[in-house]
Structure 1
Amino acid sequence: MFVILVYDVGEKRVGKVLKICRKYLTWVQNSVLEGEITEAAYKRLKIELKRVIEENEDSVIFYILRTTKYSERETMGVKKGGEEIFL
């Protein structure tokens, strides 16, 4: 499956969250990562994030796409992070 992950977490946890997410997905822009991921890796990612985030303060959103066949990505302005994977 293809996942787009966006997060908004407390300043003290940003580095930890990014480090965990980069083990599984490609960083694209501040607080945004994406990539192909297996079901098992997706479950591990969520377990690791749950240990770090404060559920009453932080937000992590997963957009799950079963296929990227009908999607595309268009970027305006500065290109950050990985451009090798596109929507």
Structure 2
Amino acid sequence: MFVILVYDFAEKRVAKALKICRKYLTWVQNSVFEGEISEGNLKKLRLELKSKMDIDSDSVLIYTFHSTKFSSKEVLGKERNQPSVFF
């Protein structure tokens, strides 16, 4: 499946979230990741992020797509990272 993940962590935990997400997905912009991921790895990613976050102040949004067939991506300005499957 294809995933877009966005997180908002407090400054003292943001580097940990970045490191975890980079293991599974492609960095797109500050606190934004995307990529193909298996259900098992998505479960691991969720567990790792939950273990590092403060549930009362941090947040993670995960958008899942079973297919990118009907999706498109438009970038205005400088594209930070390019290995996306969106066309």
TM over 0.5: yes
Give the Cα–Cα distance (whole angstroms) in 2 for the partners of residues 86 and 23 of structure 1: 18
Q: Which residue of 2 aligns with 1:24?
A: 24
Q: Which residue of 2 aligns with 1:70?
A: 70
Give the Cα–Cα distance (whole angstroms) in 1 for the partners of residues 73 and 85 of structure 2: 6
| 1:7 and 2:4 aligned | no
Give the Cα–Cα distance (whole angstroms) in 2 for the partners of residues 77 and 86 of structure 1: 19
Give the Cα–Cα distance (whole angstroms) in 2 for the partners of residues 71 and 29 of structure 1: 19
Residue ranges of structure 2 left out of the alignment (5+ in a row)? none
> What value does the CA root-mean-square deviation take over the aligned residues?
0.7
| TM-score, length of structure 2 as denominator length | 0.95
SS of structure 1 residue aligned to 2:72: coil
Q: Which amino acid aligns with 1:13?
A: R
SS of structure 1 residue aligned to 2:24: coil
Aligned residue pair count:
86
Off by >3 Å, runs of 4+ in structure 1: none
Residue ranges of structure 1 left out of the alignment (5+ in a row)? none
SS of structure 2 residue aligned to 1:79: coil
The question of whether the paired residues in 2 share the 8 Å contact of 1:5 and 1:32 is answered with: yes
Percent identity reads 55
